[in-house]
Amino acid sequence: MDRPQVDGRQRNPAVPEPNEAGSLAVVIVTYNSASVLPGLLDSLPAGLEGIANYQVIVVDNASRDGSADLAIAHPIGAKIIRMGRNAGYAAGINAATATVAPCADLLVLNPDVRLRPGAARQLVDRLAEASVGVVAPQILGEDGKICRSLRREPSAITAWSDALIGTKLAARIGLGEIVADPLLYQQGGRIEWATGAILAISARARRIVGDWDESFFLYSEEVDYMERVRRSALSVVYDTNARAVHIGGAYHCSPHLSALMTANRVRYYRRHHGPIATILFRLAIIVGESMRVVLGPGHRAALRAALTFREAV
């Protein structure tokens, strides 16, 4: 197996390493992200305004489109870690954090987000609260509208509600996995989890919770991590004073990714619940995807993944 290759020659010498309390490590995991990565890197100087001690780390999962070279050439001065293979999102984060001092906070960013000015400072200020382990910002779409990025802990109730009446209606009546409470999106507060496009993680949470679970190659790794944060008695909060734009869209869509998301949903649920509850959860996904299989290849791929899922006990 290839080992990650750390290339530190691109680090901006004007920016100190995050090796003391109050420092911030910005972690970006890329895989064929050349179309979106430059926009994120361009947004960092304003987004990191007010953060004196930070380092940007780009972990590249063997991209074939020159993502790592783009990061090297960018004036932000990122440290580049080349994984040598597509090791997955969680493995990329772990490779970055292995090079960062335990006293540093983390800011984990998808390559298709753009920080609004001062966003990182607001997130880090919230992390300074002793009870806070993870902070998620308010995420906006390219149209400026607030994205429904908050989620409930997966359960048989959320799965069956989403399957039988659809995710939009289930969210509206408070039964689905997606949180639609307009007051929460406007005022912020404690949450169960949020989509992992941008998350700030305290040094305290890093020490208590440990590494991300690399068995989740992509998707559900953030659900698992935030569940472990909550179990450690730290809170996950949503802060509307910190904002970022998420491009998303076609960049993420494919039948393969739909299948991977479905398999990891079942994998996560199985690890945290008994066999009967897992059967009910998985059956809900099968029923829901069967009802929507005519809507496109993504639903067909998700159905196949739910039907064929296997994991050694």
Rg (CA), the chain: 19
Number of Cβ within a 10 Å radius of residue 152 = 17
d(CA 280, CA 269): 11
pLDDT reading at 13 higher than 50: no
pLDDT tens digits along 134-191: 999 999 999 999 999 999 999 999 999 999 999 999 999 999 999 999 999 999 999 9
β-pairing, 105-109 vs 24-30, is parallel
Q: Please give the pLDDT value at position 310.
A: 85
Give residue 2's pLDDT: 58
Q: How far is the C-alpha of 241 from the C-alpha of 57, rounded, in Å?
A: 25
User: pTM of the predicted model, to two decimals?
Assistant: 0.91
Q: How far apart are CA 101 and CA 20, in angstroms?
A: 7
DSSP tag of 294: G
Domains contained in the chain, CATH given: 5-153+192-249 (3.90.550.10), 255-308 (no CATH)
DSSP state for residue 146 in the 8-state scheme: B
All residues at 6 or more sequence positions from 136 whose CB lies less than 8 Å from its CB, including other chains: 149, 150, 191, 194, 198, 199, 200, 236, 237, 238, 239
In this predicted structure, what is the pLDDT of residue 10?
Answer: 46
